Amino acid sequence: MTWFIIIPFMFLLFALNMRLYLAMFAAILAYFIFFANMPLQIAVQRMTAPTQNVSLLAIPFFVLLGTLLDTTGIANRLLKVADLLVGRLTGGLGHTNVMLSTLMGGLSASNLADAAMMCRVLVPEMIRQGYSKGTAAAITATSSLITPILPPGIALIIYGLIADVSIGSMFLAGILPGLLCSAVLLFTVYIVAKRRGYKPSRTERPTASETGKTLIGAWPAFLLVGVIIGGIRMGVFTPTEAGAVATIITIVVGVFIYREISLSDLRNAFGTTAKQTAAVLLVIMTSSALAWIFSVERAGVMLADWIIALTDNPLLFLLAVNILLLVLGMFIEGTALMIILVPLLKPVVMQLGIDPVHFGIIMILNLSLGALSPPVGTVMLLVCNLTRTAIADFVREGWPFILALMVALLIVTYVPWFSLALI
């Protein structure tokens, strides 16, 4: 039971605002120094072993891809497509916000990057058109939840590595749940806009000429989605290869077609990617060693036996997991929870006959909701900071959108078809 001692220690370090990988590294050291009759060299081996996994190359490619979207001009052209599709609806800019997140979700891979871009591109205009700061911030934050669920979300890659399931399967499994989240948010924006009197962002139907010009201007974005999704689905690319090809296409488009990216932009994008990739890799290295400790201590097996002694009903188990994750997600960063809980819960999931890919989508959707919840929701804090919105205003204006996403979570949980239909 020594594994049970290091978990509260690790959570304490999280609460003290220690960096994620340092808190896990401290817990690993504590285990090997005080509880394990094993040399420290094994800890080093367990941390360096995952770096040999070729699938990890997908992370820098997709981080770089997301970083380049704004500087290459692709994001601005997707914004025009989104406005073309939903701008005439009541609350047009709110719909455009959600639709742009949906279009960007297949490209940017990061909810934080998506939320930061929306705060810069759309929120000021939403406020000028009469949206309250709280409503604009809430729509921006909740719509960014779509990004980690749609491929190539980084959370899908990390879960696939931790749970030892196909990253390609995770990519395909995220498509329909992501579109479901988009649909419920669009419906909620319409209801809120109707009650608040928010106007459409455009009053005239787009002409055939405008439609053609807008769609032609955005063709590289659609090409990238086709490369990523179509290539993986048809077996032409692995997820890693799809990320590499999509990144090359983006650079070529930005430099030679749109001509909106400079060498300094490229240098900054590569520098940002290196820093973000290093941070993710440190987390994966320490999480791998932590998962090995749980395996050696048979923590997952013991937890599975305990849960099954309480209930062997998969539906009740999924309900309990949803409640647990929603509560924990209010206090602990989502990646940390995934790293800790996936090795513990996977044996239970397998024993109860739940598909691990389906369970992964449930977990990622849960943890994304945690990023919207006080007190430590990372997306909430980022958006409130960038838009200068009080957290109280965010919570007051954002509850209809969060409630809508919870409905989507229940549908995804109890209708596995949404996660497994495309695999």
Per-residue pLDDT for 207 more than 90?
no
Per-residue pLDDT for 147 more than 60?
yes
Residue-wise pLDDT for 162-182, tens only, equals 888 888 899 889 999 999 999
Structure confidence at residue 299 (pLDDT)? 66
CA distance 108 to 114: 7
Across the range 149-153, mean pLDDT stands at 81
67: part of which helix (H) or strand (E)? helix 58-72
Residue-wise pLDDT for 2-44, tens only, equals 666 777 787 788 777 777 778 878 888 888 888 777 777 888 8
Per-residue pLDDT for 108 more than 60?
no
Confidence tier at 109 by pLDDT (50, 70, 90)? low
HEC readout, the chain: CHHHHHHHHHHHHHHCCCCHHHHHHHHHHHHHHHHCCCCHHHHHHHHHHHHHCHHHHHHHHHHHHHHHHHHHCHHHHHHHHHHHHHCCCCCHHHHHHHHHHHHHHCCCCCHHHHHHHHHHHCHHHHHHCCCCHHHHHHHHHHHCCHHHHCCCCHHHHHHHHHHCCCHHHHHHHCHHHHHHHHHHHHHHHHHHHHHHCCCCCCCCCCCHHHHHHHHHHCHHHHHHHHHHHHHHHCCCCCHHHHHHHHHHHHHHHHHHHCCCCCHHHHHHHHHHHHHHHHHHHHHHHHHHHHHHHHHHCCHHHHHHHHHHHHCCCHHHHHHHHHHHHHHHCCCCCHHHHHHHHHHHHHHHHHHCCCCHHHHHHHHHHHHHHHCCCCCCCHHHHHHHHHHCCCHHHHHHHHHHHHHHHHHHHHHHHHCCHHHHCCC
Q: Is the four-CA dihedral 74, 80, 86, 89 of positive or negative sign? A: positive
User: What share of the chain in percent tops pLDDT 70?
Assistant: 91
| Angle (nearest 5°) at CA 32 between 27 and 35 | 95
User: What share of the chain in percent tops pLDDT 90?
Assistant: 13
CA distance 278 to 365: 25
CA distance 72 to 49: 36
Cβ atoms of 302 and 89 within 8 Å: the answer is no
Residue-wise pLDDT for 262-321, tens only, equals 888 888 888 888 887 787 778 778 877 877 777 777 765 676 667 677 777 888 889 888
Query: Within a 10 A sphere around the Cβ of 390, how many other Cβ atoms?
Result: 12
CA distance 140 to 380: 9
* Predicted model pTM: 0.77
Residue-wise pLDDT for 343-382, tens only, equals 888 888 888 889 999 999 999 998 888 878 776 677 787 7
What value does the mean pLDDT of the chain take?
81
Structure confidence at residue 327 (pLDDT)? 76
3-state secondary structure of 180: helix
Per-residue pLDDT for 419 more than 90?
yes
Structure confidence at residue 106 (pLDDT)? 56
Per-residue pLDDT for 83 more than 60?
yes
